[in-house]
Each structure stands twice: as structure tokens, then as C-alpha cells.
Amino acid sequence: METNTEIDYKAVAERYRERLNDLYGEIETWLEGEQYRFTRGEMNLEQQNIGKYIAPTLTITNVETRELIAELKPGGALVIAAEGRVDIIGDIDSDYLLYLVPDSGIDVDVSTKVGNAPETTETKRWSVFRGFQHKGWYFTEVRRLARVKPINKELFIDILAEVSYDESLAGA
């Protein structure tokens, strides 16, 4: 298990930027030929341990109406139980995706004492989310049950339809 002194936080921020850029590239491919325009940008983030860093953003607009459909804004490279978060912000609601890896989770110290034996404590990794086996971007479908689904074109369009009113999404 890594300790804070073993983590290269600059590498964490760079890996997060790469994962966001890969996601944005996928989204642009999924919606290619549709009536959307994509604008990439950057925003400043500051997180404990990492410090200040720049992360990419993506804005999706309707080509015909020029109205904003959604903004994808980084939520951070270090989030509880995940290795990154991106917020999807529309004009009526917002949601988010998490970057999960199979060994992501929360370290929990578990103490046991049996009879007169000395108490033992070990650290175990508790996975907060269920339903994933591969690293990647996931949508938390049912937050109370902690189920996640890997992001794909159909699911992303469903999310867009939830966060933003746009006629182009009605028949998608």
C-alpha cells in the first residue's frame, strides 16, 4: 500500500488530465456528425496534497440554436473512493462521472480480538462501488446502492437529456 510520501502528486494530476482528455475525445467521437459543437478549455483547480494545477474542460453546444447543452468541468483528481471526478452541468440539472479502478476504495482499519489473544489491527481496502471490474469512467446509477455503469454513448446521451433541455436530445 502506498503512503502519502510515496505518491507523486504531479503524476496524479497529469494522469487525471490525460483521463479527462481521453473521455472528451470519446464524447466528441460519440456525438460526431450530430448537431453539436465542442469547445475545449481549461480551469484551475487546487487540491490538498496536489496543490494548484490546470485541468481541461469541455463545453457542448447545439450548432443550430447555439445554446449550451452541457459543460464538463473537472471535480478533482483526488476524490473519495475514486481516482477522478468530472461534473456534467446543464441548464436544468447536473451529474457527475467517476474514474474508478478495481483497487480504488477507502482504507479501513479493522481490529479483531478473539478471547484472550492480543487485539490485532489490519488495514483493508473497502470498495464503495459495485458493478465494475475494469478501470474507466463510470456513472453512479443508483447512489444509495452504490451501483455504477461504464460510460458509453447511449448512457452519456441519457445523462445529457437529464441535465439539459435541448430538442436535439429528445430523439437521440
In tens digits, the chain (172 residues) has pLDDT values of 344 457 899 999 999 999 999 999 999 999 998 899 999 999 999 999 899 999 999 999 999 999 999 999 999 999 988 899 999 999 999 999 999 988 766 666 777 777 787 888 877 666 677 767 789 999 987 666 668 889 999 999 999 999 998 877 765 5
Closest CA to 17 of 80, 69, 86, 81: 86
Buried b / exposed e over 69-95, threshold 16 CB at 10 Å, is bbbbbbbbbbbeebbbbbbbbbeeebb
C-alpha span between 72 and 70 (Å, rounded): 7
Residue 7's pLDDT is what? 80
- Compute how many other C-beta atoms are within 10 angstroms of the C-beta atom of residue 156: 21
Residue 59's pLDDT is what? 98
pTM of the model: 0.82
Which domains are seen in the chain, by residue range?
4-103+132-170 (3.30.920)
